[in-house]
């Protein structure tokens, strides 16, 4: 499971990096938000670190602050940015959910993992590393508070529902934003000598379009739900 989750989050992180780079370079054929893409990249890296129980108090505080700020950004965008529902740019509440889930995943880990008292786990993070630490040092753990358990269950349900949303989006993406054949043939490279036609450009960049983006978000939602399940 650890290797599967690592591979999943490595793919989502790499994909987010490619989308951010295409937006930054101004060659993207898709709509997007550079902050959102960087946020997904950082989330993916943080999830991989959590899988392998890498971290500590300082890192936990940094993550809580970072994902808290991302959550505030997406909340502000949802409340005041009319582009929040722009076709091709997923709804801000989906990003907000993942940001808040990351905050709880880090902050709630000690409660869900029995107080986080252990030995050389460097912070006793979740999943494989936490399980291995528990096996190596059998120590009594404090019971998980009921409110923390049910809050985590609520996040699992919300992320599962988010997964259904992204599944539907992935199935309908070809009708909701990918350019058609005529539009692809009409695209030109900005700044290219003579405005050279780029029939090959969409073949590469369409991999970063709405359908693949929805699949990436689906992977993030389900991966985070699985991580929460391992903490219960």
- Contact of 129 with 54, CB cutoff 8 Å: yes
Q: Does 56 have pLDDT greater than 90?
A: no
The pLDDT of residue 154 is 96
DSSP character at residue 145: P
Q: Does 86 have pLDDT greater than 50?
A: no
Average confidence score pLDDT of the chain:
75
User: Could you tell me which residue, 78 or 217, shows the higher pLDDT?
Assistant: 217
Q: Does 155 have pLDDT greater than 60?
A: yes
- Which token pair is 220? 């993030």
pLDDT in tens, 10-30: 999 999 998 888 888 877 666
pTM: 0.73
pLDDT in tens, 184-193: 434 444 444 4
- Which token pair is 177? 């934003």
Helix (H, G, I), strand (E, B) or coil at 108: coil
pLDDT in tens, 60-81: 899 999 999 999 998 888 877 6
Alpha-carbon distances of 41 from 17, 18, 121, 219, 227, rounded to whole Å: 6, 10, 25, 13, 17
pLDDT in tens, 162-208: 999 899 988 886 544 444 443 443 444 444 444 444 444 555 566 77
The pLDDT of residue 87 is 44
**Distance, CA of 175 to CA of 166 (rounded, Å):** 15
Which pLDDT band, with edges at 50, 70 and 90, does 232 fall under?
A: confident
Which pLDDT band, with edges at 50, 70 and 90, does 57 fall under?
A: confident
The pLDDT of residue 204 is 54
Q: What is the mean pLDDT of residues 202-229?
A: 83
Comparing CA positions, the residue from 221, 100, 102 lying closest to residue 163 is 221
pLDDT in tens, 88-131: 455 678 889 999 999 999 999 888 876 544 433 444 444 455 44
**Distance, CA of 141 to CA of 134 (rounded, Å):** 10
Q: Does 219 have pLDDT greater than 90?
A: yes
The pLDDT of residue 212 is 85
């Amino acid at each position: 499971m650890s290797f599967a989750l690592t591979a999943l989050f490595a793919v989502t992180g790499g994909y987010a990096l490619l989308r951010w780079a295409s937006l930054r370079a101004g060659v993207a054929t898709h709509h997007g938000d550079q902050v959102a893409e960087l946020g997904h990249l950082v989330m993916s890296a943080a999830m991989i670190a959590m899988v392998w129980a890498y971290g500590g108090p300082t890192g936990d505080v940094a993550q809580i602050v970072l994902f808290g700020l991302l959550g505030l950004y997406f909340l502000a965008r949802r409340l005041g940015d009319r582009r929040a529902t722009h076709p091709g740019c997923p709804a801000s509440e989906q990003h907000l959910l993942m940001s808040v889930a990351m905050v709880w995943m880090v902050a709630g880990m000690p409660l869900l993992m029995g107080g986080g008292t252990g030995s050389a786990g460097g912070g006793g993070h979740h999943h494989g590393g936490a399980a291995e630490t528990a096996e190596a040092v059998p120590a009594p753990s404090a019971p998980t508070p009921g409110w923390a358990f049910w809050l985590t269950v609520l996040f699992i349900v919300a992320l599962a529902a988010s997964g259904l949303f992204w599944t539907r989006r992935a199935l309908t993406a070809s009708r909701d934003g990918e350019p058609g054949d005529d539009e692809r043939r009409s695209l030109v490279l900005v700044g290219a000598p003579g405005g050279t036609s780029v029939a090959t450009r969409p073949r590469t960049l369409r991999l970063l379009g709405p359908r693949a983006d929805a699949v990436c978000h689906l992977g993030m939602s389900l991966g985070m739900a699985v991580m929460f399940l391992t903490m219960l």
